[in-house]
Chain A
Amino acid sequence: MDFLSYLINGLGLGSVYAIIALGYTMVYGIAKMLNFAHGDVIMIGAYVAFFALNNFGLPLPAAVLLSIVVCTALGVTVERLAYKPLRQASSLSVLITAIGVSYFLQNAAQLLWSSSTKVFPTIIPGGGISLGNLSISYLTLITIATCVLVMICLTLFINRTKTGRAMRACSEDKGASTLMGINVNRIISITFAIGSGLAAIAAVLLCATYPSVFPTLGAMPGIKAFTAAVFGGIGSIPGAFLGGLLLGVIEIFAKAYISTQLSDAIVFAVLIIVLLIKPTGLLGKRIREKV
């Protein structure tokens, strides 16, 4: 039964990674940029939720909603101010700018709220359901359910709505999309909005699991989720989902069966092996250069 409970815990952690990875992968798919500041949007989301719950005494749904609104606004603003002027620039320039934004958010948070750790309140009651020997906490259940819900909504949005189809068109070919009358800038803004909104949801789930809030909170989950996105094939939405879940499971298994200290190394080693076998990730497309 140990195996099963590790698996479920892994899926729980993986669900958080998957939600964050969706943000990375959508932005990459459409803006073709590695948004290294994504992890720090999570951090801001966590602080907003913390203050909403702790200082203003808002109920949980209101706190989550507020966090989503703030993160969405932040994501769109950052894109407008820092990334939009760099549409034509080299990808390295955009990468460095994203790193600058990441430093900015971390240091702003430190100035505003100090670097000391704040304890996130318990939002999901302890305990859980038992199936024979196996017990699953409510937290894990809610996390997995949220991730599945997000995935379903996103898939419907991408496939069934006009905006969703426009997003897919933009990720295939921006030039042709413009010719078809799609406002590419608007689509990129929407992508950042969705990605950042998801970051807020991930922030709340993350803090429910690890209840400490500090300025560099987003860094490690950010790198892990980015790894998950690449793992699944960056740019691919089902890939991010799959990559996130797998990464979570691998991490928990590595911790349980091999070594807690080496779990990060094992996660990254698995990523390297996967990329050597499938150079564009599990579900990534291979683009062949025309000679």
Chain B
Amino acid sequence: MDKQKMSKFSIGNLFSRKKRGRTISFLMVIVAYVIMQTMMNTGSLSSLFSGLLVPLCCYIVAAIGLNLNVGVSGELNLGQAGFMSVGAFTAVSVSGYLAAGIPNPVIRLIISIIAGVIAAAVFGIIIGVPVLKLEGDYLAIVTLAFGQIIKSIVTNMYLGFDANGFQFSFVDNNTKLAPGGKMLLNGPMGATGTERISTFTMGAILIIISLFIVYNLMFSRSGRAIMAARDNRIAAESVGIGISKTKMLAFVISASLAGAAGALYGLNYSTLVPAKFDFNTSILILVYVVLGGLGNMTGTIIATVILVLLPELLRSMQDYRMLIYAVVLIVIMLLTNNEAVITRLKLLQKSFSKKTPGGAKNV
């Protein structure tokens, strides 16, 4: 592949610069991890900042998953937080239950995350079947509806266990645990007394795994099918690509990654309420994806880092920080869609690259 062709200005132009994009994002994550880890070890990282690292990793993983769904597959999803919720509360429950049996936190963390991923994937399949029958904005609103339903259900779940086994009740708390028993889920109060076993290292590993999965999928038969179905549904079917199967694949992987993100998030706090994973959280992740560039995973990571850190960096502005955040969001959208700005950017790109040889070849 020649270098000139790779530097065209277009977010969607994944393929002509696929190798570069992939290498950059892996390198970026590894370098950032090493720097952060060194700073933490030498104590030069403020506690506020180091406290942000794990949630930052969670948002990145959820956003990479969502970008597969929204950017690569082209279906707007307004319920990503719902899948995070499923992953989080599954993982927290599993970890709480296994606490006595598996004292090693790393092994327990891995098992809990896997459980969270499986639960989110199962929900992804159940929800994907009806959702993917719809199109466009109708599909989006149904993902929103499912997000709300998941929140409602988790808010009404009571789960505990004692020597006699599990006790579960819905809406009203009817669990009566024997002494020594433990509540895992407590309705609107969510999970309390969770042992905080999530680590930044696990966060970085999850990001690497997510990138590995998403990139390997994108640059394969399935990835081409997903993007073909996005670009032209009817043409995709005409070359033998089954739309629902293809869209389902992207949807379920996206949900699974959100499950992993939720699991890590849940195990990072001693208390977690179901209301944490509401519509606003879904929107927040969507904003990372759109600002980072549809289908652009490196961009997603950068956008997530900036937007998670921005409110913290604006802390000195105190009350004004969320207002500034909102203005930044609007201004970025206006600028990136402004003809004059786009033309400038393209010119800038062109000055770095020679004109590509082209023109129609006759048969």
Contact = CB atoms under 8 A, between A and B. Distances in A.
A130 to B, nearest CB: 34
B61 to A, nearest CB: 21
B125 interface: no
- For the residues of A in contact with B, the DSSP-based class is helix
A259 B319 contact: no
Contacts of B171: 259, 261-262
Interface in B28-54: none
B68 to A, nearest CB: 15
A100 B325 CA distance: 8
Given A262-B156, A268-B149, A276 B330 contact: no
Contacts, number: 119
Interface of A: 28, 34, 82, 85-86, 88-90, 92-97, 99-101, 103-104, 107-108, 110-111, 219, 223, 226-227, 230, 234, 259, 261-262, 264-265, 268-269, 271-272, 275-276, 279-281, 289, 291
Contact of B130 (A93, A95, A264, A272): A272
7 contacts: A89-B333, A96-B286, A96-B290, A226-B141, A261-B171, A265-B148, A279-B138
A281 to B, nearest CB: 7
Given A93-B290, A279-B138, A291-B234, A272 B145 contact: yes
A280 B138 contact: yes
Contact of B142 (A108, A110, A262, A275): A275
Closest 10 CB pairs of A and B: A265-B152, A100-B329, A103-B326, A104-B326, A268-B145, A89-B337, A100-B330, A107-B322, A97-B333, A107-B323
Given A100-B329, A101-B330, 4 more contacts: A104-B323, A111-B319, A269-B149, A276-B130
Contacts of A28: 137
Interface string B315-356: 000011011011101100110111000000000000000000
A195 B263 CA distance: 41
B337 A93 contact: yes
A108 B148 CA distance: 26
Contacts of A276: 130, 133-134
B148 A103 contact: no
Interface residues of B, number: 43
A281 B138 contact: yes
A108 B337 contact: no
Nearest to B153: A265
B73 interface: no
A62 B140 CA distance: 40
Interface in B119-168: 130, 133-135, 137-138, 140-142, 144-146, 148-149, 152-153, 155-156
Contact of B133 (A99, A111, A269, A279): A279
Nearest to B338: A85
Contacts of A280: 138
A51 to B, nearest CB: 20
A158 to B, nearest CB: 22
Contacts of A230: 137-138, 141
A264 B278 CA distance: 13
